[in-house]
Chain A
Amino acid sequence: MCGIAGLIHRGKSSKVGFELQGMLQALKHRGEDSTGYALYGDTEGKNFIMRVKVGENVGEGSSSIAEDVSVYDERKKIVESYLSEMGAKIVKEERILPYSLRYEVQYDKKDLLEFSQKIESIPGVEILSMGKSLEVIKDLGNAKMVCDRYNLDKVIGTHAIGHARMATESGVDIKSAHPFWGYPFSDVSVVHNGQLTNYWNNRRALENKGMRFMSECDSELIAVYIAQKMREGASLEEGMKESLSGLDGVFTYFVATKDSLGMAKDTMAAKPLVLYESDDLVAMGSEEIAIRSILPQEIDTYDPFDGEVKVWQI
């Protein structure tokens, strides 16, 4: 079933990590196989933040195969040597968990395709996000567990999207968890609730154009699809509008960039979404209780209609 939530503060920053945790935890009955956060810091830094995983969480419920930590260590070494090879200088490095790394890197080139391809040529390594304000954090468990594991409740930012996942068509693992990074675009992320029925046709077409897929999760297609549209010159909103006919199935999804947040709903309105909009805050989720976790007072909310696309700026 899955639950999605997102919020954008307009004209100010807030504790988006804490707020999104509350929203996603309120939706945990929609799935707690994995939970993911895409958090956008309040100022655009000079350096890129790269979140990368060098292995999977093989805890209870995981569908991944256990590997020795020494394998992760080896992959980490190769990642760092490749960064050096490509002229990316590591400014700061954190190893939050044996398989989860966070690098602040100084990298001058704007095109991240070559960079990403190089890093991901290392078997078992995946860039979860790359951006100057975006950080994607995803792992197994519910929102509270993931938030505590990665200390997300203190993250300050302008906007965020997140996903509580009930695995249905692909594994219980980090690679299939949302949000998906809009590879190879800096600061683009996607979460999705629904099912895409023309996944393989679209995937083959996009792979022929050089785009990469890291999982077999149909939701990843949205991130790649939007990224490809933007690569061809479309704006975020244009790409989202094209997706209404380009993607087949039932879906409600959110896309975020460094300064905007958008939502799209399929033409049958088969997947739920409740939206709250005011001058300084937009909050939305699969159910109203997600919004109520940050706005307990009585508010006016509504369901966007079928085929609706909306984009808000910070």
Chain B
Amino acid sequence: MANLKTTEKKTKSQAMGMHTEVLTGRTQQKFFNPDEAENFYYFGTYDVDFNKRTDLDVKDMTAAEANKKIDSLMSEGYGTIVIKNPQGKHSLGVGILNKLNLIFEGSLGYFGMGSCDGPIVRINGRVGWSCAENLMAGKVVIEKNAGSCFGAAIRGGDLICKGSVGARTGIDMKGGTIIIGGDAGAFTGFMMQRGRIIILGDVGINLGDSMYDGTIFVGGEIGSYGSDAVDADLTKSDQDWLKRKLKVAEIGENFDVSKMKKIVAGKKLWNYDNLEPTEKKGAI
């Protein structure tokens, strides 16, 4: 098992102000055990072939029917699925726990791609509230705008919106990266605990309000800072990472990252290290 505490990566992440960052989701190595092969896959996951491709028109399907059909196609080994006519339906593409190349030719409603772990998703439209909530791993790219609570409570993976997003982006996020090509609304990074948010445009009021940890990078204007959100120095490591991330995300490759602002938790609201009364009693 890799010992994260002694690796070079740990030192570098510390330099970037992410000393508590631990990757999560399928990429997490901490629980790897070669003797437990059955744990490589969750129940309900499939071994798919990316070269096996099919289209699925969901125009006359309910969200539940569409999701069942996606599941059925994955069970047949299809690794690339193109969804036609999603027409703003809610809860499409949820709970996919294996690798999959999924393309939506249109927009999604609320809770699209929720609780996923592993798929690579491209949405050629917009998404409603709470897109990719609880994402564990994988990549979700939205070509247009997104609603509020974008990437709420994600644990890992990359979530990219090329347009603008609503309020409370990355609320309660615990890992992973959210990248916004346009502007973001109020309370971005509200109560975030880990992970990184990159906003190339402007951001609304109360940025990073009550954030515990994690990092927010902003390219444009900031409406106001939330409680306990403070500026930090943008290091060379930060800039290298930002450039690489924006390139991989196919967004803002030529963006001047050296002028970005870096916001972290002031940690004055922290009480992580405070013991519960019963624990205190034990310690005494």
Q: Chain A interface (Cβ within 8 Å of chain B)?
A: 267-270, 272, 274, 287-289, 291-292, 296, 298, 300-303, 305-307
Contact = CB atoms under 8 A, between A and B. Distances in A.
Contact of B126 (A272, A301, A306): A301
B158 to A, nearest CB: 22
Nearest to A301: B126
A306 B109 contact: no
A302 B204 contact: no
A268 B87 contact: no
A304 to B, nearest CB: 8
**How many interface residues does chain B have, given as a range?**
20 to 34
- Residue among B109, B145, B185 with the most chain A CB within 10 A? B185
A292 B58 CA distance: 14
Interface stretch (B9-17, B48-56, B159-167, B240-248): B159-167
Contacts of A270: 167
5 closest residue pairs by CB, A with B: A269-B167, A288-B88, A303-B166, A306-B186, A302-B145
A301 B127 CA distance: 9
A267 B147 contact: no
Given A302-B163, A303-B147, A305-B185, A287 B109 contact: yes
B90 A305 contact: no
A303 B185 contact: yes
B145 A301 contact: yes
A302 B126 contact: yes
Contacts of B128: 272, 274, 287-288
A268 B144 CA distance: 23
A135 to B, nearest CB: 29
A305 B107 contact: no
Contacts of A307: 186
A288 B163 contact: no
Given A288-B88, A298-B106, 12 more contacts: A268-B167, A268-B187, A269-B168, A274-B128, A274-B147, A296-B87, A300-B144, A301-B107, A302-B126, A303-B147, A305-B167, A306-B185
